[in-house]
Structure 1
């Protein structure tokens, strides 16, 4: 059965960025990243979560890191030239990005925020990120994703 295209997939198609879509069942809503990796049969080191943060300057930043790692807030602040950063509250996510918790993608947010991908994924052939809704992921080259979101690579996870 053909799955519907998400906004993320439409953006990738429009920008001619090659990707592989993955869909998984999620009867209980959002699932953790390790489960997503298992459901789509991918190495968790190459399955990434999208984290939205706010700096001391009140600017917003997006970080893409492997699902089994944590965002290193000090390293992340340094990567974007902020004194400090913190995760935004879950209630802010949908109004700010247009995405729900568990379905947040670095592609196609309401506004393009500075985006940093964890340096550990830079050398991988492909990484998987949310396709913008729970139950859908897109697999693409890290450099292609960074190019699309005007992102950079930095060591931001621990």
Structure 2
């Protein structure tokens, strides 16, 4: 287990949200989410990745979807109330969110951006999201994460 707590873990504790920390082996580069699920022995449906997109209005939106799925940009735009959305470039991620690719968490970004979880999160007993650092995940009840991030839920993935 991580000996050093991430900011995400501290935020969960401040809000008295129970979580289970998980660590996985990694190199310097981001590990794709499906590999993370396998490294942690978790079902792909329970491990979620955090994507940041910019709407046509210029506003940023956060989408949290299962690691094995692709974000459907039309569904994401509809859920965000935008005409269209496109993912922000990896180079912009750290400056906008405070997180690097592979360590992006819906919890504790520099600003609270409108967040939408894929509706499939609601049917899982627990889900995992990045703990804000490559190599670390937190597992929590989906409803607790959705409440904490003041998120909506909607269908977000391609069929």
The two structures have a TM-score, normalised by structure 1, of 0.97
Once the two structures are superposed, the pairs formed by residues 36-55 of structure 1 within 5 Å of their partners are 36-55=36-55
Per-residue deviation, 1:2: 5.2
Whole-Å Cα distance in 2 between the matches of residues 7 and 28 of structure 1? 20
Per-residue deviation, 1:28: 4.5
C-alpha root-mean-square deviation of aligned residues, in Å?
1.0
Counterpart of 1:110 in structure 2 is 110
Whole-Å Cα distance in 1 between the matches of residues 53 and 30 of structure 2? 20
Question: What 5-or-longer segments of structure 1 have no aligned partner?
Answer: none
Counterpart of 2:128 in structure 1 is 128
The two structures have a TM-score, normalised by structure 2, of 0.97
Once the two structures are superposed, the pairs formed by residues 6-17 of structure 1 within 5 Å of their partners are 6-17=6-17
1:96-140 deviations in Å (ceiling 9; x for gaps): 000001000000000000000001121110000000000000001
Whole-Å Cα distance in 1 between the matches of residues 146 and 121 of structure 2? 11
Question: What 5-or-longer segments of structure 2 have no aligned partner?
Answer: none
- What is the aligned length? 158
Whole-Å Cα distance in 1 between the matches of residues 65 and 2 of structure 2? 29
Maintained 8 Å contact 2:30/2:102? yes
Whole-Å Cα distance in 2 between the matches of residues 143 and 2 of structure 1? 24
